[in-house]
Structure 1
Amino acid sequence: MGNCIICGADTEGHICQSHEEDVVFEFRGNSPDQLVENRFYRGVVDGYADFGVFVDLSSNVTGLLHRSELDGRLESLDWEAGDTVFVQVKNVRDNGNVDLTSSIRQADREFRGTLIQDGTEELLPEDDEEEVEEGNGRERDVEATTGEDEESAPAETDGSGAEAATQAVDEAAAESADSETEPDEADYAEDESSESEPVDADPAEADTEETPAGAEPEEPTRRDIGELSDRVGEEVRIEGEVVSARQTGGPTVFELRDETGVVDCAAFVEAGVRAYPEIEVGDIVRLDGEIEIRREELQVETEALVELEGEERETVERRLAEALTERARPDEATLVADDDAVSAAKENLLDAAEAIRRAVFESRPIVVRHAATADGYVAGVALERAILPMVREEHAESDAEYHYVNRRPLEEAVYEMNDATNDVTSMLQDRDRHDEKLPLVVLAGTASTVESEDGLEMLGIYGAKRVVVDAAPADAEIADTSDVLVNPDAAGLSTGALASSLATTVSPEVREEIAHLPAVSYWQDTPDSYLDAAREARFDEEAVTELREAIALEAFYQSYDEKRELVGDLLFGESPEAVAAGAPEDAAESETLAGHIATQFREKMDTEVETAEANIERSESEGVEVAVLDTEEYTHKYDFPPSSLLLDELHRRGDADVTIGIAMDELWVRAETDVDLRAVAREAASNAPNAGISAAGLREGRIEFLSGAREEVEIAVVGAVVEQFD
């Protein structure tokens, strides 16, 4: 019976069943049947085939990561033979073949612990290292004795000297082997310990020319984190804020931020035991340690760590605050193209950009929420494209973008309590399990109406900052329940165009990359300035249309998934890995992929429109042409296109003044005039008082009602809409 290295619970071995997928294993077995399914293993890329990647899990065991298990295309992987990767064992077949699946975690720090699987036996890394160190120590003792005897013994010509030397070596080896003395504690403390108290040294050793007896040891020089990469191997002092602290199966890893950057600092006291338990996230500290490169990432091996207080703390806090404000606030708003409506919101853009940049510099996660529509995806992806390079530059670890940027589509354009509960649950778990800061939540093309007020307030109760970016008119209540509201309230502006200019204000260098996105966000009446920007980026109107249709189709499938790799391929003709490597591809690839998916969009849409048009009921009321489609009876409810998108297309193609789609308990309104949906709902409710009529989604033109009053509701809503044409 042992204890789980993650939670400390009693368990057989070193990891309990509930936390087995939180650790990564180093496999040293020689047979596939020793592998454990669903475990994560560290492997080495062996080579590529047309159908996937071969990964060596040990010198004798190789598995296949099939291309179907990859989130993106096989060609998008930047792995090379010999690269260390992290995979999960999906299945071990009877013939010995090992099926692997991909892992989003591609660094040791992403896991909560590391274990060694030697055959079927599980070892702590420290146990394995101690065995090696003990063996090496005995060898060094023998070698040292041998060298001393050979140097001091006189040369012999009759062989007796050699015999004596051999005897001395044997006696020294025997003495070393029989000794039960543990490795020298001072050496262990110097190499492994993270205790702040220095280990007492031998007074005789301390009295040397380098360190005279009684003299204070020389303090390390304070360095900025931004310059540490040039000082590997040096002893340095860092002052800053602890932005996260996570416990691994070995050391405790503190993430430390100063005015120039962020770095991981490893502190070891005992395997799986929290070092410096008095240090918490948000503390201002001074840390002394040695700069090292571990697994190709910069890390400081902590030798001393103390919390600063009083004037020392205030000095560091003031330095951090001044530097953060200077770095976070852009000098000016950078727009994708000339747009008077966006220009009128420049101050709000600067406020939102400062909030986003500040979150990056504070090592605060950013959650981007957007509607699962073409316009919503453009808005969310534009912001993601601006934030990711900043995160990569700010954080040394290779997987930082998966920690600090999370884009989550919303099925509706309302931030409901269900969505807020999901986000709050996730952020509290991350805070409690990983000591992460509460996130900045950016809501693009959603949450601008009072229907989202409860969800926004729930975020605020827990202290999460909220930035709302929406081109549709916002209700007054949203200004009070958001920290920053970017809402020009201008007719004809898309949220995608607005968010793109926010993205270029956050990171002006991405303007050329995302210049075509605003044009993609418009289904009709695209402003000339955005079409010109798209042409400059080598996307003509046909290419822009294909991108729009392709994104609309993909937004429907797996609507809750960000689809980062696929969307990157569609909109930019490249995977995020290619972007990170700075190797953009020609837009033609994006057009080819988008063209393929856009063809499916048109085929599915044309088929559905043809069926719908044959079943539309047309009428005229007070000179207003009204077309009504029973979507419950004459559409494929769970297939593409969704009812809201179908109604948009029917209204664009048709000649009716009002197009209404009615389902079992909801309907959609499309009209040639600006319709006040809340007023329509109120008027209809007065004529059908027991039907439970309410305006559920202003952006989608959606009204909800009780299914038992369906016919009564249809008559009441049509009458209320027609009245608004007067």
Structure 2
Amino acid sequence: MGTCIICDTPVDGEVCEFHEEDVCFLFRGTDASQLTPRRYYEGTVDGYADFGVFVDIGPRVTGLLHRSELDKRLESLDWEPGDTVFVQVLDVRDNGNVDLGWSIRQGRDEFRGCVVDDPDGERRLDEADSIDEPDGSADETTPASAETDDESTGMTEQTETTTGTDSADESAATGSSSAGTDEAAGDGATVGSTNGGTAAVVAESDESTEAAADAELARTTVDALADQVGAIVRLDGVVTGVRQTTGPTIFELRDETGTIECAAFEEAGVRAYPDVDLDDVVSIEGEVERHNGDLQIETESLTVLTDDERQAVLDRHEAAIEDEARPASVDPLGGHETVDGLTDELTEAATTIRRAVMEARPIVVRHSDTADGYVAGAAIEHALLPLIEDKHTRDDAIYHYVTRRPLEGTVYDMDDATGDVSNMLDARDRHGEQLPLVVVVDAGSTIESTDAYELLAQYGADRLVVDANVADSAVSETVRTAVTPGDRDETLTTTAIAATLAAAVNADVREDLRHLPALSYWESPPESYVDLASEAGFDADALADRRNAVALEAHYQSYNDKRELIADLLFDSNGGLAGHVGDQFREKLETELATARENTTVSGTGDVTVTVLDTAQFTHRYDFPPTGLLLDALHRSERDRADGPFATLGVDEAELSVRTTDFVDVRDLGDAIATAVPDAGVTVVGGADGTVEFLKGEREAVQDAAVDALGDLLE
């Protein structure tokens, strides 16, 4: 029994529970389960990802500080890999993942004390303690520079100086090649050091070289590594990622069966094999290990393959990818006639997406911020996650290789593309990642997106579009595949297309997707989709709850994918959460609808009735529901009262939106307004279902011209 270092309260350790958050802890354990949630720990920045920062809490434990936990934007964080930082452990999950929180205190002197958190017992920090020496002292027989804790992999690299015969014998025994030995490298060129921690290897005799050659390892594959932990293996593959940690360099290697991380150590924080880059074809020898549950290779030698050896690897990869990437068939969900007619486009898109997974390329899914956009994007994400887990050996691969980012509206514009390009170039330069495949869903099918696609094309990032709207010809020319109907079909949603695409990408999740097409309709889904949802156990109320809940959550934290929350709403068969959030949706929407009805005006010409709502004056513009969803609901609630053609017109300070009983191409409406008010600077954004933008000073004239034009267009 001791006393708290702050208040002298008797405690079993060094600090009482009340003052735990006033102390910084130095972790000396070897497993994440030994961490104590709520405590603040000193750690080291390991690296960045789109979604946050990885921080090493100890030699064998790494946690994720998610961007949502930061008190500033991730891009403005000035931490660099290797920096000492302080974070709070929020949770340790069953799979060993560690969730971290932000600490406003970023120095030991800002805490009221420091304690060494050792599984064998807590102790107060003394001068003998350091992050680099968990035992509190250096090995008396080994120079301090000779042993370095590898904070990324949990491996300890022991520097040794070997001589002649000993080195040769060791090489022959393990079957690994020595650096710089042409005979061992074959047609390839060995670069850098052996990275087995050896500082120097002297020339071997001819006999030892021949012995090493005789012991050359047979090639294995990534999918066979789980049964070879502890063995020395050889892998031939393509480098798909390179990142430098505070310890080793991590090479991501892809062969025809999957992807594995290979840790190569030169010295702490120093780039191993500096001449090896993305897309190089290499042969790696090393020991199969598990690091925090993930398979990993501790690299002993790395050889860049050239000429015939290089081509043989590439040919093997291409044959495997081509065979596996193309789905055997595309079987549309629910039998919608328009979706049935998109089989070729769906096959091409599914092949492109599956190929990106197999090539270890990140996939970025961008979608509109509507319920249809969220459900369609989540369907594709749901198909991708298990595929990525299957192809990668690291537990956090699903956070690295698929990102879903909502858009504001239905245009993928230069602002969006500039952000994506900046992120992907940062990921390439900082973490050695490949350029991504960008999939734009329920958006990006109009000419306004072509500049953005051309920017992506300048860097070689592939592009796909999936949308229920007819794509402009200019878009089809700037993307690999546009999965869009040839003619307008008001009975089609983007989710109806995306669910079939997701099932083609991953047939194993097909059963999970059956209810999604019906869920995406606000009114009267096709009977085939209703039947499909019913077979999956979802009645009309269950579908409405989920759609409404997604629509509500889409409005909040609009820049955030809300991956887990959206998945719970869509795929949890219980439905309790969806029902709860759905009730909030109905309450908020009805309140706003009542306000809107009291403030509409009725205009029109001839038999056409136009209900006009000043959305700038009579809506809570930044609260739920968003203007588009409110106008949809207002139009549905008011149209049945009209005798004849009916339109709902929402007029903001410089934007006009319209809903009509019979289809009106907003581009035609924009042309009519521009003719009537030529000085209003009228433009149409978003195509046939888009919005009309204009100069604020001409608002009244634009509104009058819109009412007159609707009278002509709806007659």
Q: TM-score with structure 2 length normalisation?
A: 0.77
> What is the CA deviation profile of residues 569-598 of structure 1, one whole-angstrom value per residue up to 9, with x for unaligned ones?
21122xxxxxxxxxxxxx12xx22111111
Match of 2:93 among 79, 82, 86: 79
Quick one: structure 1 residues 121 and 88, their matched pair in 2 at CA, closer, same or farther if it must change by over 3 Å?
farther
Q: Is this contact kept in 2: 1:42–1:84, CA < 8 A? A: no
Report the number of matched residues.
601
The aligned residue for residue 654 of structure 1 is: 638
Whole-Å separation in 2 of the counterparts to 1:524 and 1:84: 42
Ranges of 4+ aligned residues in structure 1 off by more than 6 Å? 28-32, 92-98, 117-122, 127-131, 186-194, 201-204, 211-215
1:390-429 matches, cutoff 5 A: 390-429=387-426
Whole-Å separation in 1 of the counterparts to 2:30 and 2:592: 49
Whole-Å separation in 1 of the counterparts to 2:521 and 2:281: 48
1:203-282 matches, cutoff 5 A: 216-282=213-279
Answer yes or no: is 1:592 the counterpart of 2:605: no
Q: Is this contact kept in 1: 2:35–2:92, CA < 8 A? A: no
Q: Is this contact kept in 1: 2:249–2:272, CA < 8 A? A: yes
1:121-270 matches, cutoff 5 A: 125=132, 134-135=140-141, 184-185=161-162, 195-196=193-194, 200=201, 216-270=213-267
Answer yes or no: is 1:90 the counterpart of 2:103: yes
> What is the CA deviation profile of residues 139-179 of structure 1, one whole-angstrom value per residue up to 9, with x for unaligned ones?
xxxxxxxxxxxxxxxxxxxxxxxxxxxxxxxxxxxxxxxxx
Q: Is this contact kept in 1: 2:465–2:479, CA < 8 A? A: yes
Any idea what SS the aligned residue of 2:617 has? helix
Quick one: structure 1 residues 265 and 78, their matched pair in 2 at CA, closer, same or farther if it must change by over 3 Å?
same
The aligned residue for residue 314 of structure 2 is: 317
> 1:358: how far off?
0.4
Quick one: structure 1 residues 44 and 78, their matched pair in 2 at CA, closer, same or farther if it must change by over 3 Å?
closer
Match of 1:702 among 660, 681, 691: 691
Quick one: structure 1 residues 659 and 497, their matched pair in 2 at CA, closer, same or farther if it must change by over 3 Å?
same
Q: Is this contact kept in 2: 1:29–1:118, CA < 8 A? A: no
> What is the CA deviation profile of residues 675-701 of structure 1, one whole-angstrom value per residue up to 9, with x for unaligned ones?
111111111101100111111233653
Quick one: structure 1 residues 120 and 494, their matched pair in 2 at CA, closer, same or farther if it must change by over 3 Å?
farther
Q: Is this contact kept in 1: 2:129–2:135, CA < 8 A? A: no
The aligned residue for residue 560 of structure 1 is: 559
1:338 counterpart letter in structure 2: G
> 1:721: how far off?
2.1
Match of 1:601 among 574, 582, 585: 585
Whole-Å separation in 1 of the counterparts to 2:671 and 2:292: 63
2:582 counterpart letter in structure 1: A
The aligned residue for residue 535 of structure 1 is: 534
The aligned residue for residue 576 of structure 1 is: none
Quick one: structure 1 residues 258 and 668, their matched pair in 2 at CA, closer, same or farther if it must change by over 3 Å?
same
Answer yes or no: is 1:362 the counterpart of 2:375: no
Further displaced range: 337-346 or 377-386: 337-346
The aligned residue for residue 176 of structure 1 is: none
1:457 counterpart letter in structure 2: E
Match of 2:701 among 685, 701, 712: 712
The aligned residue for residue 620 of structure 1 is: 604
1:300 counterpart letter in structure 2: I
> 1:465: how far off?
0.3
Any idea what SS the aligned residue of 1:195 has? coil
Any idea what SS the aligned residue of 2:251 has? strand
Whole-Å separation in 2 of the counterparts to 1:183 and 1:212: 21
Q: Is this contact kept in 1: 2:240–2:433, CA < 8 A? A: yes
Quick one: structure 1 residues 303 and 118, their matched pair in 2 at CA, closer, same or farther if it must change by over 3 Å?
farther
Q: Is this contact kept in 2: 1:416–1:455, CA < 8 A? A: yes
Q: Is this contact kept in 2: 1:44–1:55, CA < 8 A? A: no
Whole-Å separation in 2 of the counterparts to 1:437 and 1:86: 26
> 1:647: how far off?
0.8
Match of 2:350 among 353, 368, 371: 353
Whole-Å separation in 1 of the counterparts to 2:670 and 2:267: 65
Q: Is this contact kept in 2: 1:44–1:56, CA < 8 A? A: no
The aligned residue for residue 307 of structure 1 is: 304
Quick one: structure 1 residues 462 and 184, their matched pair in 2 at CA, closer, same or farther if it must change by over 3 Å?
closer
Q: Is this contact kept in 1: 2:601–2:613, CA < 8 A? A: yes
Match of 2:664 among 668, 675, 681: 675
Any idea what SS the aligned residue of 2:612 has? strand
Higher relative helix content: 1
1:90 counterpart letter in structure 2: S
Quick one: structure 1 residues 596 and 121, their matched pair in 2 at CA, closer, same or farther if it must change by over 3 Å?
farther
Whole-Å separation in 1 of the counterparts to 2:576 and 2:265: 52
Whole-Å separation in 2 of the counterparts to 1:94 and 1:276: 40
Q: Is this contact kept in 2: 1:240–1:258, CA < 8 A? A: yes
Whole-Å separation in 2 of the counterparts to 1:84 and 1:539: 34
The aligned residue for residue 610 of structure 1 is: 594
The aligned residue for residue 375 of structure 1 is: 372
Q: Which runs of 5+ in 2 are unaligned?
A: 1-12, 43-57, 59-63, 71-89, 115-123, 145-158, 180-191
> 1:35: how far off?
2.7
The aligned residue for residue 294 of structure 1 is: 291
> What is the CA deviation profile of residues 283-314 of structure 1, one whole-angstrom value per residue up to 9, with x for unaligned ones?
11111222122222111111211111111111
The aligned residue for residue 437 of structure 1 is: 434
> 1:611: how far off?
1.4
Q: Is this contact kept in 1: 2:91–2:100, CA < 8 A? A: no
Any idea what SS the aligned residue of 2:410 has? coil
Whole-Å separation in 1 of the counterparts to 2:136 and 2:201: 23
The aligned residue for residue 496 of structure 2 is: 497
> 1:225: how far off?
1.4
Further displaced range: 665-674 or 384-393: 665-674
The aligned residue for residue 653 of structure 2 is: 664
Quick one: structure 1 residues 91 and 124, their matched pair in 2 at CA, closer, same or farther if it must change by over 3 Å?
closer
Q: Is this contact kept in 2: 1:352–1:467, CA < 8 A? A: yes
Match of 2:711 among 711, 717, 722: 722
